[in-house]
Structure 1
């Protein structure tokens, strides 16, 4: 017969949640930084296709 697991404490839950949020924040900051580079048109290290529209 199945036995219910013990309840996870608030502190453990918060630690896991903060860890997940830190990973998400890091990815968001990376995406924003990359977006700023594309938007600046001054990037020489990226190769854009000829049909790439900077205005959109």
Structure 2
């Protein structure tokens, strides 16, 4: 027979929610940092193929 579970306290709920938000924040910071390093050409862990877009006259 199914028995309802006890309710999770508000403080525990808040703690879990904040941990989830912090993980998302750090993932965004890392992604932005990687994008910045790729765009400036300072990336050591990513190899980006350089293209030459100059028009030959």
Report the TM-score, using the length of structure 1 for normalisation. Answer: 0.74
Question: Which sections of structure 1, spanning at least 5 residues, go unmatched?
Answer: 52-56
Q: CA RMSD in A?
A: 1.7
Q: From the CA coordinates, give the structure whose radius of gyration is larger.
A: 2
Q: Count residues in correspondence.
A: 50
Which one scores higher on RCO, CA 8 angstroms, separation ≥ 6? Answer: 1
| Consecutive aligned runs of 4 or more in structure 1 exceeding 4 Å deviation | none
Change in 2 beyond 3 A, CA 1:9/1:15 = same
Report the TM-score, using the length of structure 2 for normalisation. Answer: 0.73
Question: Which sections of structure 2, spanning at least 5 residues, go unmatched?
Answer: 52-57
